[in-house]
Amino acid sequence: MNIEDGILEHITNEVYIFDINTFKFIYINKSAQINLGYSKKEIKKFTADKLNLKVSKENFTKSVGLPLINNEVNSILLSTTLQRKDKTCYEVELSLLKTVYEGRVAYVAIALDLTEQINMKKTLASQAETLRKLTHYVPGTLYQFKLYPDGRSSFPYASENIYDLYEVNAESLMQNAIEGFVRHHPDDEKKIYDTIQKSAQTMDEWSCEYRVNLPNKGLRWLEGHSTPEKLADDSVLWHGYLMDITERKATEKLLLKQQTVLQQQAYYDSLTGLANRRLLLDRLGKAIQKGTRHTSKLALLFIDLDNFKEINDSLGHDAGDKVLIEITSILTAIIRSEDTIARLGGDEFTILLENITNTESVATVCNKILQKLAHPIKIDGSELYISCSIGISLFPDDGIKVHDLLKYADSAMYKAKREGKNNFQFYDTKLTELATERVIMETGLRLAIKNKELEVYYQPQVDGRTDKLIGIEALVRWNHPTMGLVPPAKFIPIAEATPLIIDLDRFVMEQAMTQVAHWYEKGLNPGGLALNLSVKQIQQKDYISSIQLLMKKIKFKPYWLELEVTEGQIMTNPKKAIKTLQKIRNLGIDLAIDDFGTGYSSLSYLKKLPINKLKIDREFIKNLPESKEDAAITQGIIILTKILNLDVIAEGVETEEQKNFLIEGGCNAIQGYLYSKPVTAVELEVILQNGCRMQSNSRQRVY
Ligand code: C2E
Ligand code: CA
Ligand code: CA
């Protein structure tokens, strides 16, 4: 035996060598002997055909072997079956090449036993078949999806019924993942992509509901769940299932719709679409809870139409229904979106107003309703006049329970009916009086400006050390034809809540400035003129130009003027206010902060405000010098003005002690009844003509 034989003998592949001409075996190795069951001796008697080697001389030389014979290739590969001595067969893969063995040309065939491979294939095929059979009965599709680190993806496995879901064959999907993706609804693509990415990052289950557009079945809803697994090469493999949930989705939608309809019926009035009693009680309960937590107020309006029964009786129910719908749209237009309107039945409505700041705003809403209803409404071509009576209860003032508030609003509504209908009544009668007074005031005030019932009074401002007049503050008075002199505290807040304040302030401004210019012209010296201006006024677009025009017309010097603005007014919109105030300062007009200390101005804003003076509020002066607290505050404000380099004046000074305390503290400018109450122009002119000397008169306590 030579070396090659030695090697050939020990390799596990079967090796056969046979004569190129006779096809007789020359050599077979040990593996071949064992596998075939023939001994070396026995085999040497056979030609290759005996083993069914597909390489019968004839067949080999004429076809399969030709490329080798013609030296076109070095070897050829053949799949064939070999037959053992015991007649059993086995599959092999043969590698055939030419060689020289023991001095003659021969073929070497190296066989690879395929039995195991074939068995494996069979097992896999049968497993796949089992899986196929099993998955056939699963309502969804089982699949594997793989995402490679470079972003590519594939479907290593998909069960056959993927066709039902995606209308794509499992095999073609496994070859080309894109086929599946093109089916996705464009609006859901991002969702699918994002959830896959997230699952890949967190290794949490992927689940998603999404739509596919199928060539035959059209739009379908699918639901998928799958568990990710990280592979060694960093790709992620999901094992999961997909299901068609289109029918379930449709059912869900239907249920939701039914639920909404039921809810609608349970909580809303079918005619007007407004909240019904049940929803109102629910909202009122919640509003009370919220109001208790935030200590905010609410108002409950009970509205009853005054002549609905007549309309219903004379024009019929259809017309009545139309009226109710029209009233609904009128009420809805009046209230804020966060408020609730409800129809309790018949012609009874309620409105729940939350977060109300004052009773005036409630009265305003009621007035709006009454005014709107004063116009006729058109129903079926005829004009109908509808009025209503409104009762109001307030939380927490009147009650803190849902049913109490409803009961009180109802009883207030009956009072409105008794008072002649077409009006509103608070449960607390005092509030109704106030509201009525307010309405009278508002109407009266509108006329007052026209009828010249307003008059400007002047209150002297005095240097407390010399008792000399240094300036005056203009304060408006209303000479009401029947009520007499009305103090500003009664009508200024009303004017401020409406655009009336603009006309009012403009009137005072023109009147006072003309008067002061006139005094200067006469050679008298009233000092500076302080005007109280609402921020609404100075924020009028034409304010600056109109004041310039006026100054030019009446020859009024800007440095004669000082405008007083309250902290509260500035603080409602500090940034805007600062801009406007700066423009005023640029004209050479002085600015003072009125009622200083009562607002919330932060020191940081104070520094930014373009002001010259602080006016210490009467509240702090009133109890001086006894009140230690007020003394400290007053002292503090004075020091603050020194630090900020501002002037300071104290208002409401009534006693000698107060004046002395202020002067000692460093505040010399004094305004108050100690020197004088606000006086008419005629009275002030007397003071001016007397050389501006003021007398302090601490016993004088007048309005
Ligand atoms: P205010 O600007 O703080 O004016 C000072 C108020 O204190 C005036 O009340 C004045 O009469 C009063 N007063 C002055 N000295 C004393 C005193 O020693 N003791 C007491 N008890 N009171 C004193 P009045 O005139 O009733 O004005 C009230 C408020 O109405 C003013 O407060 C001001 O905010 C507003 N107001 C007055 N006139 C006008 C105006 O023309 N336009 C605007 N927007 N508001 C005005
Ligand atoms: Ca003032
Ligand atoms: Ca004041």
| C-alpha–C-alpha distance, residues 196 and 271, integer Å | 49
Q: What is the dihedral of CA 659, 662, 664, 667, to 10 degrees?
A: -120
Residue from 21, 7, 16 nearest 97 by CA: 16
Instruction: Check if 595 has its Cβ closer than 6 Å to any atom of ligand 1.
Output: yes
Q: Which CATH class is domain 5-119?
A: alpha beta
Strands of 388-395's sheet, edge to edge? 340-345, 348-356, 297-305, 388-395, 424-426
Distance, CA of 377 to CA of 386 (rounded, Å): 8
CB of 391 closer than 6 angstroms to any ligand 1 atom: no
Q: What is the mean pLDDT of residues 141-155?
A: 91
Could you identify the residue written with the tokens 């993927």? Answer: 162
**Distances, alpha carbon 239 to alpha carbons 85, 140, 225, in Å:** 48, 13, 8
CATH 2.60.40.10 fits 268-428, yes or no: no
Please tell me which residue, 138 or 591, carries the higher pLDDT value: 591
The mean pLDDT value for 406-420 works out to 92
pLDDT for position 701: 39
pLDDT value at position 278? 92
pLDDT band at 600 (very low <50, low <70, confident <90, very high): low
Of 469, 468, 547, the closest CA to residue 510 belongs to 547
- Tell me which residue has its CA closest to atom 21 in ligand 1: 652
- Does residue 334 or residue 48 have the better pLDDT? 334
User: How far is Cα 488 from Cα 378, in angstroms, rounded to an integer?
Assistant: 43
Span 602-624, average pLDDT? 87
Give the closest residue (by CA) to ligand 1 atom 27: 488
Sign of CA dihedral 286, 287, 288, 291: positive
Checking if the pLDDT of 62 tops 90, the result is no
Intrachain domains 5-119 and 124-249 with the same fold: yes
Tell me what the mean pLDDT of segment 664-677 comes to: 96
| Residue 293, both tokens | 């937590």
pLDDT at 700 over 50: no
pLDDT at 55: 64
Structure tokens at 559: 């440095």
pTM above 0.85, yes or no: no
Percent over 90 (pLDDT), the chain: 52
CB of 491 closer than 6 A to ligand 1?
no
- Residue the block writes with tokens 């002549």: 307
Higher-confidence residue: 21 or 228?
Answer: 228
Nearest partner of 584 among 604, 609, 601, 603, judged by Cα: 609
Q: 499: cis peptide before it, omega within 30°?
A: no
The answer, yes or no, to whether any atom of ligand 1 lies below 6 A from the CB of 240, is no
pLDDT tens digits, 459-514? 999 999 999 999 999 999 999 888 888 889 888 988 887 788 999 999 999 999 99
> Which residue's CA is minimally distant from atom 17 of ligand 1?
652
Buried b (16+ CB within 10 A) or exposed e, 673-686: bbbbebbebeebbe
Average pLDDT of the chain to the nearest whole number: 89
Q: What is the pLDDT of residue 699?
A: 46
- Give the three-state DSSP class for 301: strand
Amino acid (1-letter code) at residue 333 = A
CB 409, CB 422: distance < 8 Å: no
* Residues at Cβ < 5 Å from ligand 3 ion: 594-595
Distance from residue 647's CA to the centre of ligand 3 (Å): 15
Contact criterion met (CB below 8 Å) for 609 and 581: yes
CA distance 51 to 54: 9
Backbone angles phi, psi at 663, to 5 degrees: -65, -45
Mean pLDDT of the 606-631 span: 91
Q: What is the distance of C-alpha 670 from the center of its chain?
A: 52
Report CA Rg, the chain: 51
457 within 8 A of 678, measured Cβ to Cβ: yes
Tokens of 284: 């009122």
Per-residue pLDDT of 543-574, as tens digits, reads: 889 999 999 999 999 999 999 998 878 877 77
The answer to whether the bond into 376 is cis (omega within 30° of 0) is no
Q: What is the CATH code for 124-249?
A: 3.30.450.20
Report helix, strand or coil for 467.
coil
Q: Which is higher by pLDDT, 84 or 699? A: 84
- Ligand closest to 617 (CA) is 3
Pocket mutation for ligand 1, best pick of 455, 475, 594, 615 (most atoms within 8 Å of C-beta): 475
Strand partners, 530: 473, 562
Q: Is 565 in the pocket of ligand 1 (CB under 6 A)?
A: no
pLDDT at position 53: 63
Q: Is 653 helix (H, G, I), strand (E, B) or coil?
A: coil
| E strand or H helix at 475 | strand 468-480
**Is the predicted pLDDT of residue 326 greater than 90, yes or no?**
yes
Q: Does 527 sit in the ligand 1 pocket, CB within 6 Å?
A: no
**Between 391 and 265, where is the model more confident?**
391
Q: Is the pLDDT of residue 665 over 70?
A: yes
Look up the CATH number of domain 456-531+556-575+590-700.
Answer: 3.20.20.450
Is the pLDDT assigned to residue 328 strictly greater than 70?
yes
pLDDT per position as a tens digit, 284-315:
999 999 999 988 899 999 999 998 988 888 88
Band the pLDDT of 702: cuts 50, 70, 90.
very low
- Cβ neighbors of 153 (< 8 A, separation 6 or more) are 145, 146, 147, 177
> In 10 A of CB 404, how many CB atoms?
14
Q: Which ligand is nearest to the CA of 598?
A: 3
Give dist(CA 380, CA 529) in Å, integer.
Answer: 62
Residue bearing tokens 């002067």: 663
- Residue nearest (by alpha carbon) to ligand 1 atom 45: 532
Pocket flag, ligand 1, residue 537 (CB < 6 Å): no
Alpha helices (H) along 402-556: 402-418, 429-450, 488-496, 500-521, 535-538, 543-554
596 lines ligand 1 (CB under 6 A): no
Confirm or reject: Cβ of 496 under 6 Å from ligand 1: no
Closest C-alpha among 102, 100, 82, 101 to residue 92: 82
Instruction: Answer for the pair 241, 134: CB distance below 8 angstroms, yes or no.
Output: no
Distance of alpha carbon 29 from alpha carbon 6, whole angstroms = 9
CA of 306 to the centre of ligand 2 (A): 46
User: Helix or strand or coil: residue 337?
Assistant: coil
Residues of the chain above pLDDT 70, percent = 97
So where are the chain's domains? 5-119, 124-249, 268-428, 456-531+556-575+590-700
489 in ligand 1 pocket by Cβ < 6 Å?
A: yes
Q: What is the pLDDT of residues 253-262, one digit of tens each?
A: 998 998 888 8
> Residue 37 CA to chain centroid, in angstroms?
86
pLDDT in tens, 510-541: 999 999 999 999 999 999 999 998 888 877 88
**24: closest CA among 101, 112, 90?**
101
Instruction: Report yes or no: 184 and 212 within 8 Å, Cβ to Cβ.
Output: yes
Position 82 scores a pLDDT of: 86
Q: Ligand 1 pocket: which of 478, 511, 532, 649 to mutate (most atoms <8 Å of CB)?
A: 532
200 CB neighbour count, 10 Å cutoff? 16
Nearest ligand atom owner, CA of 658 = 1
Check pocket membership of 459 for ligand 1, CB cut-off 6 A: yes
Give 488's contacts (C-beta < 8 A, 6+ positions apart): 475, 476, 477, 478
Tokens for 104? 């003659």
Residues in Cβ contact with 608 at an 8 Å cutoff, skipping those fewer than 6 apart: 578
> What count of other Cβ atoms lies within 10 Å of the Cβ of residue 431?
20
SS (H, E, C) 381-445: CEEECCCEEEEEEEECCCCCCHHHHHHHHHHHHHHHHHCCCCCEEECCHHHHHHHHHHHHHHHHH
Q: How far is the CA of 503 from the centre of ligand 1 (A)?
A: 18
Q: Distances from the Cα of 192 to the Cαs of 139, 149, 186, 206, in angstroms? A: 21, 18, 10, 9
52 phi and psi, to 5 degrees? 65, 45
594 Cα to the center of ligand 2, angstroms: 6
288-318 core/surface letters (b: 16 or more CB in 10 A; e: else): beebeeeeebbbbbbbbbbbbeebbeebeee
Helix axes 488-496, 500-521, angle to 10 degrees: 120
